[in-house]
Amino acid sequence: MSENFFESTLKKETGENDNILRPKTFEEFPGQDQVKERLSIFVEAAKMRDEALGHFILSGPPGLGKTTLAYIVANERGKGIKTSSGPVLEKPGDLAGLLTSLSDGDILFIDEIHRLPIAIEEYLYSAMEDFFIDIMIDQGVGARSVRLNIPKFTLVGATTRLGLCSAPLRSRCQHVHRLEYYSDEELGRIVKRSSDLINCEMDEKASHEVAGRSRGTPRIANNLLHWVRDYAQVKADGFVTWDLANKALNMLNIDSNGLDEMDKKILNTIAYNFDCGPVGIKNIAVSVGEEVGTLEDVYEPFLIQEGYLVRTQTGRVISQKTKNMLGINSNSSDEQDLPNL
C-alpha cells in the first residue's frame, strides 16, 4: 500500500534540504517559546559554571523540531553532538562506541529513545549517573569486566511516545520538554524563512496558505513549500501566488483545513461504519487499511488537537465539529444523512 504525503513526510530522514533550513540558534527557531526560554536558561547557566548540561528529554509528535533543538543546544553551548536512534542500538558495544568517542560536555542525541532495548537502556544508566561503563572481555570462565571512565556528556532523548519511556530513564533526566503543534502564524514565519533560504519567491497570502495546510508541523510546511516551488516552476514563472499555491496543494488532496485523504477516510469510517463511535483503534485500523501505530502517531494527534476526534474510555468518537462539517444530524445516524468529506 502506497504512503500518502503526510505519512511519507513524517517518515522521511534528515537530508540536505533539512540541513539548509534547520535553524542554528534559538533566535532563528520560531515558536515553542516556553521550551526555548527554559532551554536557553539551562544552557546559559551551564556556560557560566563551565559544566556539562544535565540530561533531558524532548517529546512530542513527529516533525516539530526535537532534533533541531538538540542541535541548537549543542551549538549554543559550543559543544559537539553525535546522533543515533533507539532501534539502531542493538547491543552494548554499539553504545560503548558512541560514548567513548565523546568529549567533555558533548551531547549524545538519541532519537526515538523509547525504542531502546532494555539491555542498552540499563547499560546507559551508569554512564548517565557516574560516567563510566563496564565492558566484558573474553567469554566463559575467563570473562572479566573492565571499567572505562567516559567524558561528562549530556544525553538528549527525543520521543514521540513519552509514556513508553521507562520511569528509571525519565528519573535520570533533569527535564522533560513537551513540544506542541505550531500556530498558523508561527508556521507562516517558518514558510517565509524557508522560502528565502531556497530562493522561492512567493507572496504573503501564498505563504499563509501553505502554513494553514501544514497540520501545525514545520517539517510538513517545508515539504509542502518544496512541492509548491516545483509546481510554480513547471506551471508558471516560478513566482508563487495564492492561486498557484492553492492549485498545487489541491493536487495533493490536502483541503483548506490541512486534512488529507487518510484523515477524511478515518472520520468517514467512524461516521459511516461505526455510527459516529465509540469504536476501538484496532477496528479503525482494519477498516482504513493502516497500522495502529501509524494512526496513533501520525493522524490522531492532529485530529484530536484540532477537535475532529475524541478519545473516550470506550473508544474513538467524532466530535460535534466533525458532524457539522459532514452535515450530520445529531439526532439521526441514518447513513443518508452522512455525506462524504
- 74 burial class (0-12, 13-18, 19+ CB within 10 angstroms)? buried
Consult the annotation and say whether 21 binds a ligand.
Answer: yes
Beta pairing class for 81-85 and 107-111: parallel
Catalytic residue from among 36, 66, 77, 79: 66
Catalytic residue from among 219, 229, 264, 323: 219
C-alpha cell at 181: 503543534
Consult the annotation and say whether 316 binds a ligand.
Answer: yes
Contact 245, 214 (CB under 8 A): no
Look up 217 and say whether it is catalytic: no
188: left (phi over 0), alpha (psi -120 to 50) or beta: alpha
Q: Which residues contact 286 (CB under 8 A, 6 or more apart)?
A: none
Consult the annotation and say whether 130 binds a ligand.
Answer: yes
Rounded Cα distance, 248 and 230, in Å: 9
Q: How many CB atoms lie within 10 A of CB 185?
A: 12
Strands (E), 68-203: 81-85, 107-111, 132-137, 144-149, 154-159, 175-178
What does the longest C-alpha to C-alpha distance in the chain come to?
A: 76
Consult the annotation and say whether 63 binds a ligand.
Answer: yes
Nearest to 195 by CA among 25, 21, 47, 49: 21
Consult the annotation and say whether 71 binds a ligand.
Answer: no
Cis-peptide into 278, omega within 30 deg = yes
Catalytic residue from among 36, 79, 106, 111: 111
Consult the annotation and say whether 311 binds a ligand.
Answer: yes
Torsion sign across C-alpha atoms 295, 296, 302, 307: positive
- Give Rg (Cα) of the chain: 23
Look up 215 and say whether it is catalytic: no
Catalytic residue from among 9, 160, 269, 322: 160
Residues in the chain: 341
Consult the annotation and say whether 49 binds a ligand.
Answer: no
Contact 33, 119 (CB under 8 A): no
Consult the annotation and say whether 299 binds a ligand.
Answer: no
Consult the annotation and say whether 189 binds a ligand.
Answer: no
Catalytic residue from among 67, 159, 217, 269: 67
C-alpha cell at 125: 544508566
Look up 111 and say whether it is catalytic: yes
Consult the annotation and say whether 215 binds a ligand.
Answer: no
Rounded Cα distance, 31 and 185, in Å: 9
Instruction: Summarize the annotated binding site as residue ranges.
Output: 21-22, 63, 66-68, 129-131, 172, 182, 219, 311, 316
**Which of the residues are catalytic?**
66-67, 111, 160, 219
Instruction: Summarize the annotated binding site for DNA as residue ranges.
Output: 311, 316
Instruction: Summarize the annotated binding site for ATP as residue ranges.
Output: 21-22, 63, 66-68, 129-131, 172, 182, 219
Instruction: Summarize the annotated binding site for Mg(2+) as residue ranges.
Output: 67
